[in-house]
Amino acid sequence: MASGGLQLLGFVLAFLGWIGIIISTAMPQWKMASYAGDNIVTAQALYEGLWMSCAMQSTGQIQCKVYDSLLKLESSLQATRALMVAAILLGLVGVFVAVTGMKCMKCMEDDQVKKMRMAVFGGVIFIIAGLSALVATSWYGNRVARAFYDPFTPVNTRFEFGSALFIGWAAASLAMLGGAFLCCSCPRRETSYPPTRGYPKNAPSTGKDYV
């Protein structure tokens, strides 16, 4: 049975991963304009995220524009949004479930087995949330890489990985690692043996006595 320290470490890692998923979802730097060409103006940096596109001037001023219509967006971008939002909601549920099953909490102290199972269930939810975020960020990054190496993509419109992708990958890894640590608190089944059958003291001996 896992110690309380390992359980606490798993919850902290999973919680930090969940916070990272939220930050990655909100950041606009999912992809940034590439400056690999010869005739590219570097006076501004262009970023695109799940919810808005931004342009940062050389003076440090940032201008962002939220996407006007949801229906005009690409289906892959909408799917990435849905996966990241699902990861955030699953992480929120995982936080409440895992806290209930923590050894340091007073909840469900009368039944330690159920308390342990709650911690394990919270770990499973964190793992699913991390997988959802990992699939979303990897899918988005694959699209960016394919467009970058596509010879038909104009040089001035090529993008590279943004910082939000790296944060998303790290956060998904932390969430899954923390969930795995929480799953280590799964209670082991104790081996049960059939009760021994006793004989009455005054029962007559039916067998022969051996010396």
* pLDDT tens-digit series, residues 116-168: 888 899 999 999 999 999 999 999 999 999 888 877 777 777 888 999 999 99
The pLDDT of 58-84, averaged and rounded, is 85
Structural domains in the chain, CATH included, are: 4-29+75-183 (1.20.140.150)
pLDDT at 187 over 80: no
Query: Which residue type, as a one-letter code, is found at position 169?
Result: W
The pLDDT of 18-25, averaged and rounded, is 96
The C-alpha torsion from 176 through 182 and 183 to 187, rounded to 10°, is 180
Cβ-Cβ contacts under 8 Å for 2 (sequence gap 6 or more): 181, 184, 185, 186
Give the pLDDT confidence score for residue 184 in this predicted structure: 85
Parallel, antiparallel or unpaired: strands 52-57 and 62-66: antiparallel
Give the pLDDT confidence score for residue 138 in this predicted structure: 95
The predicted model scores a pTM of 0.80
- 58 within 8 A of 66, measured Cβ to Cβ: no
- 24 within 8 A of 163, measured Cβ to Cβ: no
Question: 3-state class of 45 per DSSP?
Answer: strand
